Amino acid sequence: MKKSFQYQEHTIVYSIHGNGTPLILLHGFLESRTMWNPFIDFVSDSILTISIDLPGHGESDNLGETNDLIHSAEIIKALLQYEGIKMPVIAGHSMGGYVALSLLSKDPSAYRGVILLHSHAAADDKETKINRERTISLLEKDRVSFIHSFYPELFSKSRVKLFNEEIVALREESINMPTDNITAALRGMKNRSDQLQLLKDCSIPFLFIAGKQDSRISFNRILDQASLCKHAEVILLEDVGHMGHLEASDKLFPVIRDFVKRVGESNDRSLDCR
């Protein structure tokens, strides 16, 4: 069911499906809540999914010059209160994982677990921040060329041709996204806070999912961050890049479903962050 929520002057669009343990689904950069549709179909009989168009993406309003991730987290928290959703699991792909960690940092005891799909907890380093500024300049000159070249790099190099249909669909979905919305997301990611201490402090379970051929995030970096957690599970996907939900859905979907069901059935009320 497609719904909308008014937060101050901003409209946020989201969808709710299924029954069971609530799972918040957050998409990545230049994506929308529709990226989760195949997974939602897979789990609709056992999990209550709430998929959200993050600010400036899909059908949700842009927040301004910068889509600050903390502000995005505040909006999602207000949405959960509006819907009466309690003790959900949070899952985020790439940029969505950054938002998930920002949301967790606001009230860690309000969540049962976190799934980071091709995402991590560190802030941008100096080089990455410079590259984001370069990307913003490129976008302001030629948005179409940027979108055209962006997606193939997210897939395993050896399988780009295999996923050509998916790449075309991703381009078609994002081609009309205003430049201001894209640059606002880039600024939000560039300015985000480091959340490594949060990984150390939390006793709630984390599930890290990484692709061995991910050109954006090294799987060794994911392993290092997972080792900081009190409870972490790690899935490494062979011959997969940054888009595991498309490249390896047959392996990925059951893993996410089973994690959500396990933490949803847990009666351990000691899960917290200190």
Q: How confident is the model at residue 271, as a pLDDT? A: 47
- pLDDT at 69 (0 to 100): 95
> What is the per-residue pLDDT for 267?
53
Please give the pLDDT value at position 268: 47
Question: Is 127 part of a structural domain of the chain?
Answer: yes
Domain of 157: which CATH number?
3.40.50.1820
- Residues contacting 259, CB < 8 A, separation 6+: 89, 113, 115, 205, 207, 233
What pLDDT is stored for residue 44 in this prediction?
Answer: 87
Cα–Cα distance list, 15 to 33, 161, 257 (Å): 8, 32, 18
Q: Is residue 199 part of a domain?
A: yes
Instruction: Return d(Cα 263, Cα 181) in angstroms, integer.
Output: 35
> Burial level of 251, CB count in 10 A (0-12/13-18/19+)?
middle
Cα separation, 144 vs 134, whole angstroms: 16
Domain that holds residue 180: 2-265
273 part of a folded domain: no
Is 274 a domain residue?
no
Residue 128 lies in a domain: yes
Q: 30 in a domain, yes or no?
A: yes
Place of tokens 């050509």: 164
How far is it, in rounded angstroms, from Cα 77 to Cα 7?
Answer: 11
The CA distance from 98 to 173, in Å, is 22
Task: Give a yes or no: residue 242 inside a domain.
Answer: yes
- Domain presence at residue 272: no
Question: What does the block give as tokens for 62?
Answer: 């842009």
Number of domains in the chain: 1
pLDDT in tens, the chain (274 residues): 999 999 999 999 999 999 999 999 999 999 999 999 999 999 988 999 999 999 999 999 999 999 999 999 999 999 999 999 999 999 999 999 999 999 999 889 999 999 999 999 999 999 999 999 999 999 999 999 999 999 999 999 999 999 999 999 999 999 999 999 999 999 999 999 999 999 999 999 999 999 999 999 999 999 999 999 999 999 999 999 999 999 999 999 999 999 999 999 875 444 455 4
Report residue 146 as tokens. Answer: 């940027």
